[in-house]
Copies of this chain bind each other. A is one copy, B any other.
């Protein structure tokens, strides 16, 4: 047995239950009385607000503007793109009535049937592109670069907080272009923005690639993805960017007069990241004491923990805390102030609340510290017992570097884990052995790079046999395939594919 941990069970004992406990004890979210719909609590929502602000800045810098479109999509409109509606048909919440009426026993029941059922948006391509068809008339109106922050509903049967919920929050970008090349360039640009955001803000290393045909977004010509690897060796799709070709432009009638005077169908894209990222961040960085938050995205950076004894020293201690808070709040950390929490509750064990919440830095302040003008600093990424004494002025001078150090160490640790759990496999026996063996304990195997003949049947078989899917065809690794053979069939290879079990 190791040391006692703040979270029970540990990752090794039961990774799935560890995750639920981290979410709960980190005070991030909880289930509601509506099946599959979560409540995002203030600490969890604070994370999302920071994610929103960061991504929103990136989108605005690249010329995108925010707008808002209806939550409902009429059934007939949703049905206009056949592949699209089929892809979402099994998970659509449908509004059929518009009021309540009293019936037997004075009980309320739905009344006022709608002429046409309304789908609660599972994604907004249809309702947004319908508007775009009105907005776009000429090549001068292009590119049209729109983003929406919204809630969407997908009636998933098995849900898990953040990772898969019936309602979730996201941004969905929708753009219109005059040519296929420009639309593809936008699709790739957005993938790069997601990579930048994940790696440099969430400290989550990614593998960029394209989805195989069977894993594409319903109605897309091409889906790009950023794939991440969790500590248990399972993959998490963290963001997707779709080149939609002219499929939605044709379904919605987005036509424009081009420079040459001809009327043409436009080319569209869509791309999204969601509150699922919070789940990914938890699983990538969390430890057996709970959450570990990357400083650049944490809702607060430092908690001050005054050690109060109910004596006259207490006032001086709290005064010192206020001074620290004010001084640190004036320091800019990647576009936000340093955010300081002061926890002056008179209870035992409050330090451990903050450990479980993953706050990057804890500072304990007692009478001794006040007398010496010092603080006792603890990092969430160090052992709970490790502490460093430094003067307040040193803390102020060093805090940005200390936080950046934590941010970088999280990224490096995650990257090392990803590299150590990425294997190349060249034949079917090894492939099956690897993913069969790995379903024990914490590790679900990790990433496997293997050549593939491009056949959906082969893909389907390993999914049925091993619950393993192609996460993506990594970009920049598709050269020199001509002389390679498929690891699973021995036939000529068409792609290098990244395989894994996945959330």
Contact = CB atoms under 8 A, between A and B. Distances in A.
Contacts of A100: 75, 85, 89-90, 92, 94, 119
Interface of A: 30, 32-34, 37-42, 45-46, 48-49, 65-75, 77-79, 85, 89-101, 107-110, 112, 117-120, 127, 130-131, 134, 140, 146, 150-151, 153, 155, 167, 169, 345
Nearest to A64: B42
Contacts of A95: 93-96, 120
B108 A98 contact: no
A119 B119 CA distance: 14
A326 to B, nearest CB: 15
16 contacts: A30-B131, A30-B134, A32-B127, A37-B70, A37-B71, A39-B69, A45-B66, A71-B71, A71-B120, A75-B109, A91-B99, A93-B95, A96-B96, A100-B119, A110-B117, A151-B151
A96 B94 contact: yes
A331 to B, nearest CB: 19
Contact of A101 (B77, B89, B93, B155): B89
Given A93-B98, A98-B91, A117-B109, A34 B68 contact: no
A167 B150 CA distance: 13
A77 B33 contact: yes
A272 to B, nearest CB: 17
A79 B108 contact: yes
Given A33-B127, A108-B75, A70 B38 contact: yes
Contacts of A40: 67-69
Contact of A110 (B94, B99, B108): B94
B46 A66 contact: yes
Contact of A167 (B46, B72, B131): B72
B108 A85 contact: yes
A178 to B, nearest CB: 16
A69 B31 CA distance: 10
A39 B67 CA distance: 8
